[in-house]
Structure 1
């Protein structure tokens, strides 16, 4: 993809991969706007956070506000405000909970997906360990991909990088099948379940959670938190790309890390 130059915007080099750090959305105006959409499975917060980061990082400055890695053709758009970094002295007082979303258009699972997600998170927050790591699989992900991903997460758990593992939107039957896996070493500690009407969880799911010591919680995240078309539109509107971008994954804690490839 050729480099592009636009008025009031620095030159963006040709790239094939993108990593974008939104920073802590709790410190921006995006949270207030997105909060009212909680029960509508809205991805408003993420979309606004990406747009805000692109505005700050790519416009109105005469200095490069991104990192570009020639060998891998990777464009990294950082959180210039460093709003998510945790001071080492405060680490014991901060609970780090992260969530990895597998999105539409992802290829068959690869170990690098987990490795990159955790590495990006460690860099963003300036931490070595994660207290709770939740993974949200796409509805079309195969049982084989889910098993491979969980096995790699178990390895991080065994090394002490992750303290607790969790799942998202596993119903009674799916969770039962998962817990009955013969090669399961680490049970999930939490199952985040989304309902349009946040009133009560299914009783069979509650009983299953109590039986296995799994906390059942509500979450307001849409399972389709960012589509390929939405990301492509955002990058196009900010004059970053013309080609379609495949959105690989998103990690969310206080903010978001978006990873994508240019088709």
Structure 2
């Protein structure tokens, strides 16, 4: 079963939650997702008051929704457009993170799932730029920045063969052929990786997004290559594994800060509690799900008003695979 997670529009939202990981670059996503779970649980609770005037304790089916695509956490509502102006008033950018452990063979399906969710959310027919991030690809490693590598933390995944990346890229080229995406981009490609990639693609990337946290400046050979091939170099502060399995388990688990969708928590032996910390029993048909979760992908989207440079809508979707233990 698929689990579909959403933050909705995070612009203007204030989260009181602290990061649950040590990585600053995914704190926005994790905190925003936690805030979304909290808000939807609270709304559902306020709408379910018992005869004594007290809010009834709710389980996850009260604020999630099962569809053919999977379990929406929280339930999604695409009835109203998230943007106020016409399409030509916006620059819409997506960054799609393929996560470690997910099937490379399913990337085509995953890419369309992510793009379609954003288009439905924004009520728009196309996006301007789609950037993809492959697991295990680090700009600092290729550009030999040992001092910066030492501050990055543990390696989440080994780089996959370029053949797999080229196969994935073919799906993106199809999206551009169909007019759904106007420009394509990659992340963390240094000179050698980018040069090899360019030689083997039908539609080359027009953007290479690099993390200067890992290098003080863009190397000259990469600058020369990008300029010669009309590739725009952008900077970012994202981590490639934006949603580790343990973080997802903690968000959805039954620990003190979990949403009580999954049984157990990221830490063993922890008493199961709901999102608001109340002890929970399992004497009902909709008890927490027993099983394992594998994060598949995360997509970050932004819609900027062109003539003002204002971000009107920004949010995240994520998808994970749930496998029942029984």
Q: Would you say same fold, with TM above 0.5?
A: yes
The alpha-carbon deviation at position 104 of structure 1 amounts to: 1.7
SS of alignment partner, residue 24 of structure 1: coil
Q: Which of 112, 124, 136 in structure 2 is aligned with 1:115? A: 112
Alignment of 1:243-262 (within 5 A): 243-253=291-301, 254-262=314-322
The alpha-carbon deviation at position 159 of structure 1 amounts to: 1.2
Q: Name the count of aligned residue pairs.
A: 240
Determine which structure has more spread, i.e. the larger CA radius of gyration. 2
* Number of the residue aligned with 2:11: 26
* Contact 1:130-1:161 at 8 Å conserved across structures: yes
TM-score, length-scaled by structure 2 = 0.67
- Name which of structure 1's ranges 223-232 and 53-62 shifts more when overlaid on structure 2: 53-62
Q: Deviations over 1:73-126 (max 9, x none)?
A: 533524669998123x43211110000001122112322111111111111111
TM-score, length-scaled by structure 1 = 0.82
> Tell me, which stretches of 5 or more residues in structure 2 are unaligned?
49-61, 137-158, 264-290, 302-313
* Number of the residue aligned with 1:92: 88
Q: Which of 240, 255, 262 in structure 2 is aligned with 1:241? A: 262
* Contact 1:103-1:224 at 8 Å conserved across structures: yes
Q: State the distance in 2 between where 1:129 and 1:172 align.
A: 30
Q: State the distance in 2 between where 1:188 and 1:73 align.
A: 32
Query: In the alignment, does 2:193 pair up with 1:174?
Result: yes
Change (3 A) 1:201 1:250: same
The alpha-carbon deviation at position 206 of structure 1 amounts to: 0.7
- Name which of structure 1's ranges 97-106 and 188-197 shifts more when overlaid on structure 2: 188-197
Q: Which of 89, 102, 107 in structure 2 is aligned with 1:106? A: 102
Q: Deviations over 1:210-230 (max 9, x none)?
A: 010000111011112111111
Q: State the distance in 2 between where 1:212 and 1:153 align.
A: 19
Alignment of 1:169-248 (within 5 A): 169-181=188-200, 184-196=201-213, 199-236=216-253, 237-242=258-263, 243-248=291-296
* Number of the residue aligned with 1:132: 129
> Tell me, which stretches of 5 or more residues in structure 1 are unaligned?
1-15
The alignment yields a C-alpha RMSD, in angstroms, of: 2.6
Question: Normalized per residue, which structure has more helix?
Answer: 1
* Number of the residue aligned with 1:57: 40
* Contact 1:105-1:228 at 8 Å conserved across structures: no
The alpha-carbon deviation at position 202 of structure 1 amounts to: 1.1
Change (3 A) 1:117 1:80: closer
Alignment of 1:4-83 (within 5 A): 16-30=1-15, 41-61=24-44, 62=47, 64-69=62-67, 73-78=70-75
The alpha-carbon deviation at position 59 of structure 1 amounts to: 3.5
